[in-house]
A and B are shown apart, each in its own frame.
Chain A
């Protein structure tokens, strides 16, 4: 016996997404004399990658300053998400550009 086809009117359970717009800051044209923030989310290997990249950047650009957030703002060393207070502390250090490492 073939199941009967009928007309259905169903509620789409997915709903809409929160409309969010985050403006992305412009990148600097040069890295000389700039401050680079390094954000490590406490996952394996990430710190090593960031440390090495900081070293490679330092060899190329004079006057480069580096903020290691895991040292400057130790609460940022988490893979559980950053709370607003920690984010504010990181932002107050005023990096020109931030490199984040997300991996495992």
Chain B
């Protein structure tokens, strides 16, 4: 049973997962958040179709899809102008509407020089929802289109490797109604080597490495992965970051604490990419606090909001600006004590969740809150455990930190093996 708004996505996903024919019964969208009598009418209308489908439906015989070689990629020959290419690619869902550099064979070959890996190597054997095969050659083609330099290739390939880990939640991010994007934190000497911005404006799009890597990943997602609105990427409103993503470096020159990478057990000189699915960031603008306690109190209040899931294990990411980080260090705070403070003080009443949230399992008691129940005014933390609050130092002068909530886990991959 599929609600009408998602039928095209369901058929597409079914087909790309080997079921060209699947038994669907369509129910008018929505089924959530409507009066019970309206839902009952939808069920009664759908029931005869469900009944017929359960015993009367027969799938058409499926054929094993012809295995086309994933390398080399097809060539597109065209006589025309750059504008003609932009138009052709957009019409064929080979681009997204933003201008791009035409991926000529020569430019793609130049890009491939940025890695020792062979162009036919498969990096991801099925990026959803299209289940497109991501080869090193195709990563290079997307990198060309996005304006990357060859030396960005190892970072791009490590990002693709991180994206395919199920715990990151990419498949969900690619099709969800939520305003989800991808954030990639780059750490280690690679930050300086390829010019990843980590200071002023790092999370923006005015630095070539950050912007073009984010755009290239967007092309991999939208073109190879087929995550395009409105039929496959269902983000209700989406955001520019849905295509361009966030790519930034940890500001290790300003670090008051061990970097995220070191904290996770990696060496200080190891090049690393850490991926996270994020919602839109929140600006924590505090120009007034003169003690760490004041800043943390202000921060706890700023980030204190209910999320899709109540106290589930999804890390949130705090990007402290250097001035805020410095204030916290001067006040004697460590990462552990900051986590503890925010976990204890960024709390809201669980009564904000409707009954349906309890029925859906969004809310449930846990070891810290065994007596939790619907309607209770018990204050609950924004995440299950203090260690679910991750933090980095990034950005330049000023007193604006950022906060990225988001579902699922953070996934790290070494860049070195992709050189």
Contact = CB atoms under 8 A, between A and B. Distances in A.
Interface of A: 3-24, 26-31, 42-49, 52-53, 56-57, 60, 70, 74, 77, 79-81, 83, 97, 99-104
B51 to A, nearest CB: 8
B287 interface: no
A70 B361 contact: yes
Given A8-B104, A13-B224, A100-B1, A23 B62 contact: yes
A53 B162 CA distance: 41
A49 B31 contact: yes
A30 B65 contact: no
Contacts of B305: none
Contacts of A17: 16, 65, 126, 130-133
A81 B67 CA distance: 27
A104 B31 contact: yes
A99 B57 CA distance: 13
B17 A74 contact: no
Interface residues on B, range: 35 or more
Contacts of A10: 75-78, 85, 102-105
B54 A102 contact: no
Contact of A16 (B17, B29, B69, B81): B69
B19 A24 contact: yes
Contact of B133 (A12, A18, A60, A101): A18
Interface string B39-68: 110110001001101111111001111111
Interface stretch (B166-174, B192-200, B296-304, B387-395): B166-174
B370 interface: no
A76 B419 CA distance: 39
Contacts of A14: 92-94, 132, 138, 223-224
Contacts, number: 220
Name the residue in A9, A42, A104 with the highest tally of chain B Cβ atoms < 10 Å from its Cβ. Answer: A104
B39 A42 contact: no
Q: 4 nearest interchain CB pairs?
A: A44-B32, A45-B31, A20-B18, A103-B3
Contacts of A48: 31, 36, 39
B375 to A, nearest CB: 19
A60 B105 CA distance: 64
Given A13-B138, A44-B360, A49-B42, 12 more contacts: A5-B81, A13-B103, A14-B92, A17-B131, A19-B68, A21-B64, A24-B21, A77-B361, A80-B408, A100-B1, A103-B27, A104-B32
Contact of A27 (B16, B50, B57, B85): B57
Nearest to B28: A103
B172 A12 contact: no
B137 interface: yes
B359 interface: yes
B360 A47 contact: yes
